[in-house]
């Protein structure tokens, strides 16, 4: 028989599993779309845990879910840190290319007297 605590834990396991899969695939929009579900599932788990009687015994099922949640939460933390690092590197690369492109096009003229072509976009493309 499922208790509110086990149901809430199972719900959070499902959301974390889906978010971790999206983060492993570097699918930031899919991961971000799960944020509200993750917050709601975590709130529901906290509320169910607060309502659980202090003398309630831990079952093998609840112990297994607790371990699974611990592992999923740790993986989620690592994957989120990695996603932030990747996003930061991408933004740095774009900013660098934009600065280089602006610096190269300012005041540069070709042999005919026309403004020189902007090579910043090509440099960005070749680095990617």
Give a yes or no: residue 15 inside a domain: yes
Give a yes or no: residue 40 inside a domain: yes
Q: What confidence tens digit (pLDDT) does each residue in 36-54 have? A: 999 999 999 999 999 988 7
Q: Does the pLDDT of residue 64 top 60, yes or no?
A: yes
Structure tokens at 18: 């889906």
Give a yes or no: residue 73 inside a domain: yes
- HEC profile for the chain? CCCHHHHHHHHHHHHHHHHHHHHHCCCHHHHHHCHHHHHHHHHHHHHHHHHCCCCCCCCHHHHHHHHHHHHHHHHHHHHHHHHHHHHHHHHHHHHHHHHHHHHHHCCCECCCCCECCCCHHHHHHHHC
- pTM exceeds 0.75 for this model: no
Give a yes or no: residue 107 inside a domain: no
Give a yes or no: residue 79 inside a domain: yes
Domain residue limits at 8: 4-101+119-127
Q: What confidence tens digit (pLDDT) does each residue in 11-45 have? A: 999 999 999 999 999 999 999 999 999 999 999 99
Measure the CA–CA gap between 76 and 85, rounded to whole angstroms: 14
């Amino acid at each position: 028989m499922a208790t509110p605590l086990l149901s809430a834990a199972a719900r959070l396991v499902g959301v974390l599993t889906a978010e971790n899969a999206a983060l492993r695939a570097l699918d930031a929009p899919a991961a971000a779309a799960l944020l509200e579900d993750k917050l709601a599932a975590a709130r529901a788990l906290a509320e169910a845990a607060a309502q659980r009687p202090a003398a309630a015994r831990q079952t093998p099922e609840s112990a297994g879910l607790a371990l699974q949640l611990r592992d999923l939460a740790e993986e989620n933390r690592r994957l989120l840190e990695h996603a932030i690092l990747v996003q930061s590197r991408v933004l740095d690369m774009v900013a660098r290319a934009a600065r280089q492109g602006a610096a190269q096009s300012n005041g540069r003229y070709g042999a005919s007297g026309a403004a020189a072509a902007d090579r910043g976009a090509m440099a960005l493309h070749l680095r990617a």
